[in-house]
A and B are shown apart, each in its own frame.
Chain A
Amino acid sequence: MRVGFRFLGSVFALLLSMAATGCAGRTETLGSPSMVVGAAPPQPAGSFRDVVLTDLDGRPTRLIDALGRRPALVSFWAPWCEPCVREQPALQRLSQQAHHCGATVLGVAVGENRETIADFTRARQLSFPQLTDQEFHLADALGQRRIPATLVLNADQGIVFSGDGLDGRAVTALKNALLGDPAAGSCSLQ
């Protein structure tokens, strides 16, 4: 019995070390040798602009139409993702400030139907625009596998920033995008 447990301990240690070393370095890009379960292959850059999403009233909407010709911050999220839910109040505040500056804050809920998102935003009194990407078309086109994920686009709809949760770097990127937009008003983002 004692020998058996020593043997099991060695197996366990071997397993831990394999997990700790074996796959740690191959995680960041979709082109990695690791097998990715459930994600579509990345689409050519630029194709994301034509992806059709659904707004909370059920209307099909292209991302570029939802953003208009304004700098924008796009947040990918899901109601089951705790860090995403925690940053919703901050996104709500930022959207109100951004609106006065001539920028847009847009939520893109991935993997969920619009009814669920509509109920969630109503219960939490979130009023900034939301689209749903139930089949991950936009997320996969952008190679966005993480949530929360934050993108900042300039007025020409070029991606100028890509990060995880909403943070100071994303807000700075949105400020810079506004500085480069002659149509933007004078205001402050915090």
Chain B
Amino acid sequence: MIAWLAALLAAVSPLSPPPAPVDAPAPVSVPAYQIESVRVRYTQFAQNGIGYQSAAGPPGGPGSERVTIDQPQAEVVAHLGDRLTQRIWIPVDVVTAASPDHSRYGKPIDSPVDAVSTPSRINVAGSLDTLSTYRWSATTDVDFRAALHLEEPFESWSFGLGVTRSLAEDNTVVGASVNQVVDWFDHFDLEGTRHSRASRSTTNLNLSLTQLLSPTTVAAISYGGTVQLGTLTNTWNSVLLADGDRGEERMPRHRQRHALAGRVAQWLPWQGALKLYYRAYLDDWGIGAHTAEADLAQRVVSWLHLRATYRYHRQRATRYFTTSADPGATGFRTADSDLDAFHAQTVGGAVSLDLPTPKNRYVTRYVKDLHAEIGYEYYFRSNHLTVDITTCALGFGF
């Protein structure tokens, strides 16, 4: 298997065969720097539910997972010369009533722990993500990704290198990428006391193949393998014990994850498109999952299309999951509802508009495309969690 992967990496590497000469001379009068597009998107997630890892509930019962997240994002795509494309993207999460903050600190000793109070009742998280894509030759692109993520108890750096090569007149595209993420975060215990810093490393390999099947059909399959090392527990998550008290979550310091996914997009003769997605997942904590998704788009007029989506996800619990742990046991344990067995569904829709630019020569000189979108999704799952997702986006093409 490893030999196969090595052979594949060699096949898609730009170093094999030797770097192609510059086989596509520069287009005439290419500007040194040109902004191609600017996009902004705002999303609000309103979550309600309960989970055993949250201490904001009655003794012996699950606690509240209520949270509201406001997520503004901005993205700029620019061409630097004729070979380099640069994407800079800034997502921000403003999280109100974040559930990790369930400290008893400063409260009467007999008061119930509260998952929605104190240090980060409002938590602001921000990222800076850059992707540079270099056109190595007419058939090969190399991209480099670097990202920094900062939030109150947490910071994360990530780097990635990827190669895509197109074959058979771009009918087939194979890709390989490697990503490395390093996280540092404050180690809070259940009482809200900070114990130095904890860290973890995530290394990820992806292989993908996209294939045109006809002038109206495209399919893709991909494999992703990930190895995580370090503190993989949420140190502030609690686990309900058999004696009614709460203990800390304990998880292995190693996790290996595998995901296989397939997608198909089919153009429909009545100006529509149907996309189907399936993903199978397995890891060495015992979680296995199947996810299926369908997305149907329909153009109503040339500048407006509607989209409807449905997603079904079913997962098996990790072998460490419990809602009544033995107080004397020293093994791994978690009560995190995200690692429990459940099935979840998402239904949603969106309206997408490609607006005509104003018939003003000063405007059309700069803005060539104007895109707007509004959408709503409802996520609900079998272990008591619901989320309303509202989103809107605006894009400018130059």
Contacts and interface: CB of A to CB of B under 8 A. Distances in A.
Indicate whether A and B are direct neighbours in the complex (CB within 8 Å). Answer: yes
B209 A15 contact: yes
B6 to A, nearest CB: 10
A12 B1 CA distance: 11
B377 to A, nearest CB: 28
B168 A90 contact: no
A17 B28 contact: no
Interface in B297-316: none
Contacts of A2: 282
Interface stretch (B19-27, B112-120, B140-148, B336-344): B19-27
Contact of B8 (A17, A37, A87, A165): A17
Contacts of B26: 167-168
Contact of A37 (B215, B221, B258, B356): B215
A6 interface: yes
Interface in A1-42: 1-2, 5-6, 8-10, 12-17, 19-21, 23-24, 26-27, 34, 37-38
Given A19-B167, A19-B174, A1 B28 contact: no
B209 A19 contact: yes
B140 to A, nearest CB: 12
A167 B168 contact: no
A94 B28 CA distance: 9
B207 A145 contact: no
Contact of B4 (A13, A93, A125): A13
B29 A16 contact: no
Given A15-B209, A24-B167, A167-B27, A9 B1 contact: yes
A5 B282 contact: yes
Given A17-B7, A19-B211, A20-B8, A10 B28 contact: no
A9 B24 CA distance: 36
B-side interface mostly: mixed
A45 to B, nearest CB: 22
B361 A125 contact: yes
Nearest to A9: B1
B226 to A, nearest CB: 13
A100 B215 CA distance: 41
A107 to B, nearest CB: 15
Contacts of A26: 168
Contact of B169 (A9, A27, A87, A171): A27
B378 interface: no
B7 A8 contact: no
Contact of B27 (A15, A37, A87, A145): A87
B174 A164 contact: no
B8 A13 contact: yes
Contact of B24 (A123, A167, A171): A167
B25 A167 contact: yes
Given A87-B27, A123-B357, A16 B1 contact: no
Given A19-B209, A38-B215, A125-B361, A1 B221 contact: no
A123 B369 CA distance: 10
| Most B CB within 10 A of own CB, among A8, A9, A17, A34 | A9
A99 interface: no
Contacts of B30: 90
Contacts of B174: 16, 19-20
B215 A1 contact: no
A153 interface: no
B172 A6 contact: no
Interface string B355-379: 0110001001100100000000000
A190 interface: yes
Interface string A79-95: 00000001100100110
A23 B376 CA distance: 43
B50 interface: no
B199 to A, nearest CB: 28
B5 interface: yes
A124 interface: yes
B1 A10 contact: yes
Contact of A125 (B29, B165, B214, B364): B364
Interface string B3-40: 01101100110000000000011111110000000000
22 contacts: A5-B282, A8-B280, A9-B4, A9-B223, A10-B1, A16-B174, A16-B209, A19-B172, A20-B8, A20-B172, A21-B11, A23-B171, A27-B169, A87-B27, A90-B28, A90-B30, A123-B357, A124-B368, A145-B169, A164-B24, A167-B24, A168-B28
Given A1-B282, A90-B27, A165-B27, 16 more contacts: A6-B1, A16-B11, A16-B174, A16-B209, A19-B209, A27-B167, A27-B169, A87-B27, A90-B28, A123-B356, A123-B357, A124-B364, A125-B364, A125-B365, A167-B27, A190-B29
- Which 7 residue pairs of A and B lie closest in terms of their CB atoms, listed nearest first? A13-B4, A167-B25, A23-B168, A168-B25, A20-B11, A24-B167, A90-B28
